[in-house]
Each structure stands twice: as structure tokens, then as C-alpha cells.
């Protein structure tokens, strides 16, 4: 008995009905770390808002608008429940990148020249560049926790890297290149003992593993709706209430000020509204609320176990192939990073595409690949709840025949 | 594919240039225009195109860097095609190549081995690979046009 009936789950996802084939082969979508498919529950809710109740939130006195207020705030409640936060600690943003920028620019005001920001070389660009930018403007110092030779972050190395000057630690809970899970709870505790804020990039973790912000005791969390069955253009900035009241919003505009005068004195609205300037992605928020509910109905534990089953099955097959190089055999997440010996990753990805298999080729994050994997680029396969063992078989078949990659060019 | 092309032969051309790329070397000389075609998020190709132009004639052309099979073969063929051509002649070849990429009518007589990419238009994601060095060449020509416009950097 399988932990999840992925074939049954596919009935919830219209794409499997509408685009069942790619290039004449069954669609094997294995790029879930990039983005995910959407279930009817999400699509229908967005559609319902546009078709039946379009109006702005926090604006009108009429019933239609009041109803949207209710739906928008209900979505916030659903998201808050999903990560065990208080409603007022959940701010809607456009995605992880925006959330991380808001956190970085917000925290910049609380730091002093010479303060250190601690990250790693395995971070996604979105968790590197905002820190670079504030460091440059305010003379903060970026420091990296050294990774082990296979690219992992350990508690020991973290302890050695944190100093009394460290004011911010910002780490991905699960890294997007190698899919390693970081012991966030322990690291956050150490960060706090040293007087640093702990920022967590949850883009790759929140969709797959149960995230309890209270239990982890993190100060900020950023994640994206589109990687967890929700729409694009919506994401979340979670922050502890006291911290959200302390930091300034990056964006300003309508709906987030309670008062301002011509002298430029501004009184911001309450948290979380002060972080939601302008008309928000109302449909997106509603869709994300539904996605959270859908994932909870199925159960994140089950989803994670299903992904690990697929991963173990895939690894057991790929391991046997002489032409496959595996970079993260022992990762504890549904991301497999690999290459076919002596063949450029994009050549293979295009070949796989001609066989219906969607994987990502590329650098993902140049620094770590160059230093730790000794390769210019890799292939990345990433699972989700609707993936099946047949998807894996299709992938493995492509690896076996990878040497024929030019076939794709002569179809 | 038009019936006049034999897929096996085209495949052999690509394989040959991919496995033994021509004019592949790093150049460090001020006599050359050097164009860096850097990777993007979607493409890890990272190549240099080097061009030595005298009296409007391309005297030498090389390329260097990391690239997929399609970019490698295309860059190799490009350097062979344009050497000893005037800038105008090379531009004409480039124009015909680009027509082929768009599946428009093109003059195959001047494309020589580059016709091995006749199929590329069917895989839009590979057009970028097949054209990377040609785009580098185009940029080099832009530099030529504007040479002497300003003395900056000299
Ligand atoms: C670890 C990590 N952080 C941040 C991001 C950025 O997410 P978004 O593009 O949705 O803002 C991603 C997306 O790939 C990611 O994997």
C-alpha cells in the first residue's frame, strides 16, 4: 500500500488532463523546485473571485467589498495556521524574493556599521543579493559559514562562524541546489544566544515539510505560493510581531498609512498592513489560502514520505548507471542533483524534454557548484505529491540513453 | 527537414565539430576584439569570441569557453565560415544563418556546414545555443563601427 495515491491525486490537477503528453510522451514533470502545478481547488477559488465577487479589499462599504475583505483575511488565517503563526504576523508579498528584500531593507535600519551578516555559499541569489545591497550601502560585512566538502552546513561550522558582531543570520531551511535540510531550530537558538536575528528562506521547505515558526523560533520566514500549488505572484513574509512593528516597510503607498501630513510625518498602519502598500494580489492570496488547505488535507508528512520514496527509488536505479554522476545521494529531500558524464546538462535536458521529461538544467548557484561539485552546471530533478514511479522510470530511461542526446535535434 | 538534407550527415557534422572544435583557444592580445557572451539564468554557456580585423577583412577568428554541444558545434563552424571574409560578407552569412533559425527561405550555398542547424527552429530553446557565437560576432561588428567614437578606456 502506497503512502499516497499519486494517480488519484492527479485527478485534482487539470494539467494532467489538458497536457497529458509532451512531445508525444506522458508528461513527467520533475521540476517542482522551480514551480508546481495547481489543483482545481486553487484555480476555482481564483476564478470565483474574478467571476463573482471582484472588488477591492479594505476599501468599500458595500457588501461585495466587505465580502472580499473577509476572504482576504480568511486566506491570511489559513496561511497563518499552515505555519503556526498569528494572523497579524503574516504579510502577503509577491514571493520569496520580495519577502527577503523587505526583511533585508527593514533590518538594515536596526544594524550599525561593521555589523556582520552570516549566510552560506549555498544560498539562492534571492538570499544573497539583498544582503549584498544593504551591506554596500551601510558598510555591513557579509560572512559565510564554511560548508563541508559535499556542500552541507553543520552546527559545528556554524558555531565557529558566529561572533558577537553577527547581527543577522539568513539561511535556507532546504537549499535549492542540493536539497540539504538545515537544522533551523538549533541554529536559530545559537543565533539568538549571540544576539542575532534569524531569517529563514523557506522557499524549498515550506511546500514540503511541516514548518512551525513557533517551534523553530525563527524571527522571519519567507516563502512563495507558486512552489506550493498556489498561484504565481503571491508569497509570504512572516515575522515575529514585535519585530514587524520595529522594522520599516520597503514599499509605501495606499492602504498602509493611517495618517500623514505635508511635513512628511507618517504614521504607519498596524502590522501586517504596513507591509501591504497598494492594492494587493487578492486573487493570489485567496488561491494561496486554498493551497495551504489542500496540502493540509492530504498531510505534509505523507507528501514528504512520498517524495522520499520516489527519491530512494530513483537513486537506487540511477546508482546502477555508470554514466550518471550523483551529487547529493544522501540528501533528505526530494531534490536529486546529477549529471550524465561528459555531456552538457542542457543537451540532456533538451533530450529529456523530447521524451516528455521536465528537469532543470543550469547553474542554480554558480559558486557552490564550482567549488564543491567541480562542474559548470547540473541537472536537477525535484518531486512533489503528484509524481509517480512511472515518472522516475521515464527519467531513468532517458539517463540510460543519454548518449543519444543529439536525437532530440533531429526529430 | 527538407528532403535534400540527410539527417545522418548533418548529425555527423555536429558531432565532429562538437568533439573536435576548431579555432578553439584563449587569446590575450590587444590586436583582437574580444566579446564575452556570458551565461544567463537559463543557459550556462559562457564563451568568448575573438576577432582580428584588418582593412575590413576578418584575418583571424577564435572562440573559447564552456558550452553545450549545439553551441560548441555552431561556434566552431562560425569561426571557420567567417575567416578571410570582409565584414560585409560575414554579415551576409550571418543574415542567412538567422533566416534559417527562423525557418525562413535562406541561401544554403553560403552556409556550408552550418546547414546542419537547419532543424533548430523546431526547438526554440536551442536557437539561443546555435546563435550564441553569431551574436558575439554581431556585437564585435558593432564595436568596429563605433571604433574611434570616443577615446574612453584607452
Ligand atoms: C531557496 C530559494 N530561495 C528563494 C527562491 C526565490 O523564490 P521566488 O522566485 O519565488 O521569489 C527560490 C526559488 O527558486 C529558492 O529555491
**Residue B134 backbone phi and psi in degrees, to 5:** -65, -40
DSSP string across A43-104: HHHHHHHHHH----TTT-SSHHHHHHHHHHHHHHHHHHHHHT--GGGEEEESSHHHHHHHHH
List the domain boundaries for chain B.
Answer: 7-146
Same domain, A218 and A308: no
In chain B, what is the straight-line distance between the N-terminal and C-terminal CA atoms, in Å?
Answer: 49
Q: Which domain holds residue A364?
A: 6-30+299-409
Tallying the residues shown for chain B, one arrives at: 154
| B79-113: pLDDT as tens digits | 999 999 999 999 999 999 999 999 999 999 999 99
Same domain, A199 and A231: yes
| A122-154: pLDDT as tens digits | 999 999 999 999 999 999 999 999 999 888 999
pLDDT of residue B123: 85
Average pLDDT of the residues in B16-33? 95
The domain tally of chain A equals 2
Write down which residue in A297, A326, A354 finishes a domain. Answer: A297
The model carries a pTM of: 0.88
- The answer to whether the beta carbons of residues B73 and B17 sit under 8 Å apart is yes
* CATH code of the domain in which A22 resides: 3.90.1150.10
C-alpha cell at A161: 562562524
Task: Give the distance from CA A85 to its chain's centroid.
Answer: 18
Q: Which residues contact A47 (CB under 8 A, 6 or more apart)?
A: none
Same domain, A321 and A352: yes
Which among B11, B43, B122 has the least Cβ separation from residue A406? B11
Neighboring chain B residues of A347 at a CB cutoff of 8 Å: 68-70
DSSP string across B101-148: HTT----GGGTGGGGGGTTGGGSHHHHHHHHHHHHHHHHHHHHHHHTT
- Looking at chain A, the whole-number percentage of residues with pLDDT higher than 70 is 95
pLDDT of residue A94: 98
Q: How far apart are the CA of A21 and the nearest CA of chain B, in angstroms?
A: 17
* CATH code of the domain in which A269 resides: 3.40.640.10
**β-pair partners for A362:** A378
| A39-54: pLDDT as tens digits | 999 999 999 999 999 9
pLDDT of residue A64: 86
Determine the Cα angle at B141 with ends A362 and B105, to 5°. Answer: 75
Average pLDDT of the residues in B26-35? 94
CB contact under 8 A, B68 and A362: no
Write down which residue in A262, A297, A332 finishes a domain. Answer: A297
CA of A97 to the centre of ligand 1 (A): 6
CB-count exposure of residue A77 (10 Å: 0-12, 13-18, 19+)? middle
Laid out side by side, the sheet with A360-362 consists of A324-326, A335-340, A378-382, A360-362
pLDDT of residue B109: 93
pLDDT of residue A61: 76
- The rounded distance, in Å, linking the Cα atoms of A393 and A316 is 11
Q: Which residues contact B105 (CB under 8 A, 6 or more apart)?
A: B99
Same domain, A282 and A313: no
Helices (H), A144-221: 155-161, 184-193, 213-216
Q: Is the pLDDT of residue A183 over 50?
A: yes
pLDDT of residue B117: 95
- What H or E segment, with its residue span, contains residue B70? helix B69-82
pLDDT of residue B42: 63
Q: Output the ligand 1 site: residues, CB below 6 A.
A: A 95-97, 124, 126-127, 172, 176, 201, 203-204, 224
Same domain, A256 and A336: no
Q: Is the pLDDT of residue A340 over 80?
A: yes
pLDDT of residue B152: 43
Q: Looking at the complex, does the CB of residue A70 fall below 8 Å from at least one CB of chain B?
A: no
Choice from A32, A33, A92, A96 to test ligand 1 binding pocket (greatest atom count within 8 A of CB) = A96
Task: Report the mean per-residue pLDDT for chain A.
Answer: 93
- The answer to whether the beta carbons of residues A105 and A134 sit under 8 Å apart is yes
| A221-245: pLDDT as tens digits | 999 999 999 999 999 999 999 999 9
Choice from A130, A224, A337, A382 to test ligand 1 binding pocket (greatest atom count within 8 A of CB) = A224
Neighboring chain A residues of B118 at a CB cutoff of 8 Å: none
Q: Is the pLDDT of residue A381 over 90?
A: yes
CB atoms within 10 A of CB A390: 12
Same domain, A144 and A244: yes
CB contact under 8 A, A409 and B1: no
Same domain, A289 and A389: no
Same domain, A61 and A185: yes
A36 lies in a domain? Answer: no
As for the ipTM of the complex, it is: 0.71
Neighboring chain A residues of B7 at a CB cutoff of 8 Å: 410
A334 lies in a domain? Answer: yes
Pick the CATH number of B7-146 from 1.25.40.10, 3.90.1010.10, 1.10.3720.10, 1.10.150.650: 3.90.1010.10
| A63-76: pLDDT as tens digits | 888 889 999 999 99
A268 lies in a domain? Answer: yes
CA of A261 to the centre of ligand 1 (A): 38
- Looking at chain A, the whole-number percentage of residues with pLDDT higher than 90 is 82
Nearest chain B residue to A379 by CA: give it: B44
| B40-90: pLDDT as tens digits | 656 778 899 999 999 999 999 999 998 899 999 999 999 999 999 999 999
Same domain, A200 and A65: yes
- The rounded distance, in Å, linking the Cα atoms of A116 and A135 is 9
pLDDT bucket at B3, cuts 50 / 70 / 90: very low
Write down which residue in A234, A266, A297 finishes a domain. Answer: A297
- In 3-state terms, what secondary structure has residue A343? coil
Q: Distances from the Cα of B5 to the Cαs of B10, B75, B116, in angstroms?
A: 7, 21, 9
Same domain, A115 and A238: yes
- The rounded distance, in Å, linking the Cα atoms of A323 and A399 is 8
Size of interface A-B (CB pairs under 8 A): 50
Amino acid at each position: 500500500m502506497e503512502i499516497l495515491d499519486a494517480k488519484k491525486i492527479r485527478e485534482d490537477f487539470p494539467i494532467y488532463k489538458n497536457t497529458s503528453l509532451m512531445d508525444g510522451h506522458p508528461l513527467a514533470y520533475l521540476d517542482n523546485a522551480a514551480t508546481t502545478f495547481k489543483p482545481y481547488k486553487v484555480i476555482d477559488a481564483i476564478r470565483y473571485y474574478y467571476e463573482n465577487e471582484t472588488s477591492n479589499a479594505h476599501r468599500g462599504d458595500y457588501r461585495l467589498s466587505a465580502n472580499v475583505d473577509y476572504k482576504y483575511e480568511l486566506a491570511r488565517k489559513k496561511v497563518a495556521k499552515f505555519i503556526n503563526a498569528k494572523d497579524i504576523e503574516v504579510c502577503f508579498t509577491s514571493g520569496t524574493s520580495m519577502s527577503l528584500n523587505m526583511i533585508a531593507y527593514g533590518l538594515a535600519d536596526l544594524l550599525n556599521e561593521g555589523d556582520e551578516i552570516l549566510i552560506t555559499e549555498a544560498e539562492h541569489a534571492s538570499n544573497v543579493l539583498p544582503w549584498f545591497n544593504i551591506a554596500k550601502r551601510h558598510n555591513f560585512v557579509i560572512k559565510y559559514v564554511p560548508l563541508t566538502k559535499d556542500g552541507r552546513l553543520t552546527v559545528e561550522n556554524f558555531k565557529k562562524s558566529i561572533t558577537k558582531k553577527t547581527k543577522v543570520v539568513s539561511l535556507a531551511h532546504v537549499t535549492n541546489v542540493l536539497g540539504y535540510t538545515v537544522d533551523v531550530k538549533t541554529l536559530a537558538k545559537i543565533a539568538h544566544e549571540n544576539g542575532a536575528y534569524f531569517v529563514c528562506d523557506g522557499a524549498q521547505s515550506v511546500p514540503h515539510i511541516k514548518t512551525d515558526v513557533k517551534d523553530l523560533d525563527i524571527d522571519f520566514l519567507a516563502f512563495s505560493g507558486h512552489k506550493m500549488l498556489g498561484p504565481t505572484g503571491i508569497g509570504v513574509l512572516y515575522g515575529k510581531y514585535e519585530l514587524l512593528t520595529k522594522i520599516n516597510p520597503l514599499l509605501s503607498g495606499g492602504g498602509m498609512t493611517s495618517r500623514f501630513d505635508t511635513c512628511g510625518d507618517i504614521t504607519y498602519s498596524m502590522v501586517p498592513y504596513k507591509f501591504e502598500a497598494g492594492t494587493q494580489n487578492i486573487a493570489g492570496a485567496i488561491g494561496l489560502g486554498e493551497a495551504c488547505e489542500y496540502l493540509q488535507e492530504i498531510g505534509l508528512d505523507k507528501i514528504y514520505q512520498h517524495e522520499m520514496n520516489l527519491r530512494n527509488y530513483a537513486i537506487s536505479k540511477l546508482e546502477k548507471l555508470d554514466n550518471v554522476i550523483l551529487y547529493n545521494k544522501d540528501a533528505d529531500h526530494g531534490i536529486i542533483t546529477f549529471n550524465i558524464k561528459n555531456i552538457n546538462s542542457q543537451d540532456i535536458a533538451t533530450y529529456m524534454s523530447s521524451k516528455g521529461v521536465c528537469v532543470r538544467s543550469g547553474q542554480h548557484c554558480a559558486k557552490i557548484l564550482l567549488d564543491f561539485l567541480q562542474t559548470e552546471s547540473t541537472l536537477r530533478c525535484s518531486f512533489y505529491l503528484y509524481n509517480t514511479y512511472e515518472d522516475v522510470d521515464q527519467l531513468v530511461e532517458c539517463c540510460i540513453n543519454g548518449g543519444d542526446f543529439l536525437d532530440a535535434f533531429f526529430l | 527537414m527538407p528532403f535534400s538534407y540527410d539527417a545522418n550527415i548533418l548529425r555527423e557534422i555536429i558531432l565532429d565539430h562538437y568533439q573536435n572544435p576548431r579555432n578553439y583557444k584563449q587569446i590575450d592580445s590587444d590586436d583582437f576584439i574580444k566579446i564575452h557572451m556570458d551565461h544567463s539564468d537559463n543557459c550556462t554557456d559562457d564563451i568568448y569570441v575573438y576577432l582580428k580585423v584588418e582593412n575590413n577583412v576578418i584575418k583571424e577568428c577564435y572562440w573559447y569557453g564552456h558550452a553545450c554541444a549545439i553551441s560548441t558545434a555552431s561556434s566552431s563552424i562560425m569561426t571557420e565560415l567567417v575567416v578571410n571574409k570582409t565584414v560585409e560578407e560575414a554579415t551576409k552569412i550571418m543574415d542567412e544563418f538567422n533566416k534559417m533559425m527562423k525557418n525562413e527561405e535562406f541561401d544554403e550555398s553560403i552556409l556550408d556546414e552550418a546547414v546542419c542547424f537547419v532543424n533548430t527552429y523546431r526547438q526554440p530553446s536551442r536557437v539561443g545555443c546555435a546563435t550564441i557565437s553569431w551574436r558575439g560576432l554581431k556585437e564585435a561588428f558593432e564595436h568596429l563601427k563605433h571604433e574611434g567614437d570616443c577615446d574612453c578606456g584607452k
